[in-house]
Amino acid sequence: MKYLVSPAPHKNTRQTLNEMYIVVSLMLVCCLLSGYIFYGMNVLIIIASTLVSCLLFEFIFDMIKTKSAHFPHLSSVVTGLLLACIMPLNMPWFFGIFAAAIAIASKYFFGGLGNNLFNPAALGRLVLGVISVGFSYEYFGGQKTALDLILTGNKGELELAKLFTGEMAGAVGTTCIVVILVAMIVLMILKIIRWENIVFAGISFAGIVWATLGFEYILPMLLSGSFVFATVFMLNDPTSSPYTFSGRCLYSIAYGVIGAFVMLHGILGETAIFVALLICNMVAPMFDAFVSIFHRGVKKND
Amino acid sequence: MGINLLGGIRLRKIDNIEKNDILEIRPPEVYSVPVLCSKGYPVEITVKVGDKVKDGSLIAKPTQSKGAFVYSPTSGKVVSIVEKFTPVGIKCKHVVISNDNKLEEHTFSEIAEKTPQELLKRLAVSGIVDANYGGSPTYLRYTLSAIEKKFTLYVIMSNTDPYLSANEALTIHRTAQVVGGAKYFAKLLASEQIVFVFTGRARLARKTLVQYLKKNEPQLKYKIKLISNNYPSDNIALLNERFKEKKGAFVETFGKKAFVEDAITCYSYFNSVEYGKPCNYRTITISGNNIIRKGNYIVKNGTSFGHILEVAGVINKDQSFKVLNGGIMMGFAEYTTDIASNPETQSINFVDDREYNVAEESPCINCGKCVLACPMNLLPNKLDDLCTRRKTFDAERFGIKSCIECGCCSYVCPSRRYLTQRISVTKRQLKGGEQ
């Protein structure tokens, strides 16, 4: 009889990396479905262009890096779906390919999965936004986005119920708050996203809005400008966020503060929150470095 | 024990085998008794090949002040003295004794007056070995300067490992002996009260103990402390590292010096004081998902793992499986069953690969689950990175030496990184560099 020999521990969790990616992808597909219901066929073209090109570029870069292409993980699927979610409605399909190229390249230039400094999807979207600002988020009937309405002083035209259901102008997969909140609960139960990120980001964001605009602006601002989507799906990206609890708290507070500031005082509109996210991604390793001094093991008394 | 764990993992208890009575395992025909405890203190074998021995007669005694007394597990004849490996992989001499089924017993003389000095003497010769403190004899911790100093006695009554239930079973089925042993330890220390430590989910054991104490020991001053259900909260190494006063000796809790024992040790100590039975056995949990007759057994010193496997019965014989000496999280996988159990064997588990879903190691995505799980407040992902790059000096700076190798980080890792394994290898390298 043969006995297996291996070092301890002899037990592990069922959750694997690819399972996590599959769950997140399913949640993103739900968000995109809500976008399809409101915006129609154009959404499918966006999904096709970003998803297929993300997979393709992952394949190419993987081949360059490892000399033999194999798909060890499904992170490119998540990147493709995330990109599709945050795209404007009238985006030409070739821009989707361009954004996907930027996103995947930014990951592989730093050394592949787990080493990227920036969130790939956010970086791809931002580069696209800088190149061409002519995208519109207009809903049928020429309706402006919720953030535009608030910043131009037309808050009276907003309907809170519509903000929740997502019958608004905005990026493709980010308008339907109800779906995103359900996804948030599912991901929290499966321990894929962390509560401290969401709570501290929400509190700090709301605090800045309260200080500058007033109390009645808190809820509309929280629900507009892709904030909820970016907080649930992109702030919790494990690679570009800190790995310590206290580091994550500082990180999400910084994200909320910078996000509110950029959204209120910038001209970037829907992409403002991604600027805040990328700034925080940049300093995330520093937050870890600050708090790593408290993680040097339990001190010995002798 | 009121210790706030920073991390730990929640392990589900699979089957409640502690509810079943403790049985004695069917005696094998040949015992091969290892004459060494795991630290490797030298001992002198006092029997020769061909000698007749009784159940409980001395077969090896320590040459130095350290080391444990070893007693024969059966009545019979010494067949040979061979060199073999112990369950933890140390080569040492084994006394092979054939069983003649005559059940002749050799016991200690009765203690007339149970003074602390007499009790300490009995503890020294009884041959009781701690499994918790890395396999050193129990009497080494009870020095003459430590006894009668009114230190608090803590008795661990249940474990957090899902495959370790011997303490709990003894508490339920041998309550009188366990409490009696704890009382002798308390007398040794002159402690004012005994603190029984339970994990939150060991409700039956707690209820049984409280009922017993109310009925039979109304004068006994005791306290019940609950510790977290999370996995390494009962780890002696963890408690020692945190509240260490002197290496391996005291655990300081709430500003008072304290001693920690477990139910298994209390049970053996009671038997050796009350009935004069030397400790040539240990209560061992035999479990795992690949075994038929799971349960807590009293296993004699020197019973081979192969015999235990035969008695317990394997479900799936064709498939290869693991034979673990110890719990599922920190156990030692054996390559053969031709090894003998000794007084430091906590449990023997036969598990197949349903417990461990094998996947290829993928890159770390810095999710930080290992940081949350680590009970010693370390950064396993950072240490893993440093260990792969062989930056041992930096790893030491990040506190690699305080790792207790509990395996929580490897357990939670979604990327299936070999965190514990790599850290323990680097720790051993650092240790080797110092000597």
User: Which has more pLDDT, B365 or B225?
Assistant: B365
Closest residue by Cα to residue B344 from B152, B120, B92, B114: B92
B395 touches chain A (CB under 8 A): no
CA nearest to A294 within chain B: B377
Which residues are CB-contacts of B157 (< 8 A; sequence separation ≥ 6)?
A: B167, B168, B171, B178, B196, B197, B198, B202, B205, B206, B209, B262, B263
Angle at A65 between CA A60 and CA A26, to 5 degrees: 55
Whether B61 has a pLDDT exceeding 60, the answer reads yes
Tell me how far apart the 2 most distant CA atoms of chain B are, in Å.
Answer: 66
Angle at B326 between CA B320 and CA B327, to 5 degrees: 85
Whether B331 has a pLDDT exceeding 70, the answer reads yes
State the pLDDT at residue A136: 66
Determine the Cα–Cα distance for residues A248 and A155; give it in Å rounded to an integer: 33
Whether B243 has a pLDDT exceeding 70, the answer reads no
* A4 membership: H or E segment, kind and range: strand A3-4
Q: Please tell me the least confidently modeled range out of A283-287, B79-83, B250-254.
A: B250-254
Please, where are the H alpha helices in A141-271?
146-151, 160-165, 177-189, 195-212, 218-223, 227-229, 245-265
Angle at B346 between CA B357 and CA B141, to 5 degrees: 135
Whether B4 has a pLDDT exceeding 70, the answer reads no
CA nearest to B6 within chain A: A298
Determine the Cα–Cα distance for residues B106 and B301; give it in Å rounded to an integer: 15
Q: What percent of chain B has pLDDT over 90?
A: 27
Contact: A238, B368; criterion CB under 8 Å: yes
User: Which has more pLDDT, B241 or B195?
Assistant: B195
CB-CB contact of B423 with B387 (8 Å): yes
Angle at A47 between CA A43 and CA A48, to 5 degrees: 115
Across chain B, how many H-helices and E-strands are there?
A: 12, 18
Closest residue by Cα to residue B34 from B60, B57, B9: B60
**Shortest Cα–Cα distance, A148 to chain B (Å):** 35
Q: CA B10: distance to chain centroid?
A: 21
State the pLDDT at residue B321: 86
* Tens-place pLDDT, residues B9-53: 888 887 788 888 999 988 999 999 988 765 667 788 899 999 999
State the pLDDT at residue A113: 85
**DSSP SS3 for A8:** coil
Contact: A243, B379; criterion CB under 8 Å: yes
State the pLDDT at residue A141: 63
User: In the structure, what pLDDT confidence band is assigned to residue B244 with cuts at 50, 70 and 90?
Assistant: very low
* Tens-place pLDDT, residues B200-211: 888 999 999 999
Angle at B45 between CA B84 and CA B262, to 5 degrees: 75
State the pLDDT at residue A83: 92
| Under-70 pLDDT residues of chain A | 68-72, 133-134, 136, 138-142, 298-302
Cα→Cα distances A43→A28, A51, A239, B62, B363, Å: 13, 12, 28, 80, 33
State the pLDDT at residue B345: 85
Determine the Cα–Cα distance for residues A267 and B398; give it in Å rounded to an integer: 44
Closest residue by Cα to residue B409 from B376, B379, B370: B370
CB-CB contact of B198 with B226 (8 Å): yes
State the pLDDT at residue A131: 83
Task: Kindly provide the ipTM of the predicted complex, given to two decimals.
Answer: 0.89
State the pLDDT at residue B406: 87
Q: CA A234: distance to chain centroid?
A: 2
User: Which has more pLDDT, B306 or A142?
Assistant: B306
Describe the strand order of the beta sheet including B52-53 as a list of residue ranges: B30-34, B91-99, B76-85, B52-53
**DSSP SS3 for A70:** coil
State the pLDDT at residue A97: 92
Nearest to B334 among A3, A7, A11 (CB): A3
Q: What percent of chain B has pLDDT over 70?
A: 91
Instruction: Give A-chain residues touching B418 at CB under 8 angstroms.
Output: 7
Strands B152-156 and B194-199: parallel
Whether B328 has a pLDDT exceeding 90, the answer reads no
State the pLDDT at residue B150: 77
Closest residue by Cα to residue B13 from B229, B188, B223: B229
Q: Token digits for B219?
A: 């004068």
Q: Token digits for A2?
A: 């043969």
State the pLDDT at residue B245: 42
Cα→Cα distances B321→A13, A18, B15, B289, B343, Å: 19, 27, 20, 10, 24
Q: Between chain A and chain B, how many beta carbons pairs sit less than 8 Å apart?
A: 159
Task: Look up the pTM and report it.
Answer: 0.87
Contact: B322, A6; criterion CB under 8 Å: yes
**Shortest Cα–Cα distance, B248 to chain A (Å):** 12
**Shortest Cα–Cα distance, B423 to chain A (Å):** 12
Q: Which residue has the tokens 């003459």?
A: B144
State the pLDDT at residue A138: 67
Q: Token digits for B108?
A: 């200690």
CB-CB contact of B26 with B311 (8 Å): yes
Instruction: Give B-chain residues touching A302 at CB under 8 angstroms.
Output: 244, 246-247
State the pLDDT at residue B290: 85
Q: Which of residues 303-362 of B touch A (CB under 8 A)?
A: 317, 320-324, 326, 328-337, 351, 353, 355-357, 359-360, 362
Q: How many other C-beta atoms lie within 10 A of the C-beta of residue B24?
A: 10
**DSSP SS3 for B6:** coil
User: Which has more pLDDT, B315 or B205?
Assistant: B205
**Shortest Cα–Cα distance, B98 to chain A (Å):** 25
Q: CA A185: distance to chain centroid?
A: 16
- Adjacent-strand bridge partners of B30: B98
State the pLDDT at residue A204: 96
Determine the Cα–Cα distance for residues A189 and A195; give it in Å rounded to an integer: 10
